[in-house]
């Protein structure tokens, strides 16, 4: 019995990078492994990066409202990028 390999949904894989697996992203960002091989991996990664960005901006002396605003700008861009990549995958491969 042949099993199909698990699909990688991370943004790098969606953009065609076959060298980055969902488990790589989970391990590098310390995410819950349950999000691997599901579209939820990108939401988890984006939220982790948002929180890390706020923490880092605050550590550099940025005001909290400014730190959250800048981190939110990056989060919004990342969400748009993931949505576009998912749309491209759907259009190209009927996913």
The per-residue pLDDT for range 29-80, each reduced to its tens digit, is 999 999 999 999 999 999 999 999 999 999 999 999 999 999 999 999 999 9
pLDDT at 93: 52
Number of compact structural domains in the chain:
1
Confidence class for position 81, pLDDT limits 50, 70, 90: very high
**Among 11, 9, 23, 22, residue whose Cα is nearest residue 80:** 11
63 falls within a domain: yes
Between vectors from CA 71 to CA 14 and to CA 10, what angle results, nearest 5°?
A: 15
When pLDDT is cut at 50, 70 and 90, the band that residue 87 belongs to is: confident
Domain that includes residue 77, residue range: 11-93
Does some domain include residue 34? yes
Is residue 37 situated within a structural domain? yes
Number of neighbouring beta carbons within 10 Å of residue 51: 12
Q: Is 78 inside a domain boundary?
A: yes
How much is the pLDDT for 88? Answer: 81
Contact 16, 46 (CB under 8 A): no
Q: State whether residue 49 is helix, strand or coil.
A: helix
Q: Are 42 and 17 in contact (CB under 8 A)?
A: no
Residue 4 lies in a domain: no
Tokens of 3: 């099993």
Asked if residue 18 is part of any domain, the answer here is yes
Q: According to the model, what pLDDT value does residue 1 have?
A: 55
> Does residue 2 form part of some domain?
no
What's the pTM? 0.84
Q: Does the residue 1 lie in any domain?
A: no
Residue 22 has pLDDT above 60, yes or no: yes
């Amino acid at each position: 019995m042949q099993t199909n390999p698990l699909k990688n949904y991370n943004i790098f894989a969606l953009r065609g990078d076959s060298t980055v697996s969902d488990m790589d992203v989970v391990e590098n960002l310390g995410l819950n492994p349950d999000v691997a091989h599901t579209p939820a991996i990108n939401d988890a990664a984006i939220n982790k990066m948002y929180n890390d960005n706020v923490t880092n901006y605050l550590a550099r002396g940025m005001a909290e409202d400014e730190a959250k605003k800048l981190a939110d700008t990056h989060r919004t861009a990342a969400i748009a990028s993931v949505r576009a990549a998912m749309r491209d995958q759907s259009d190209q491969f009927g996913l």
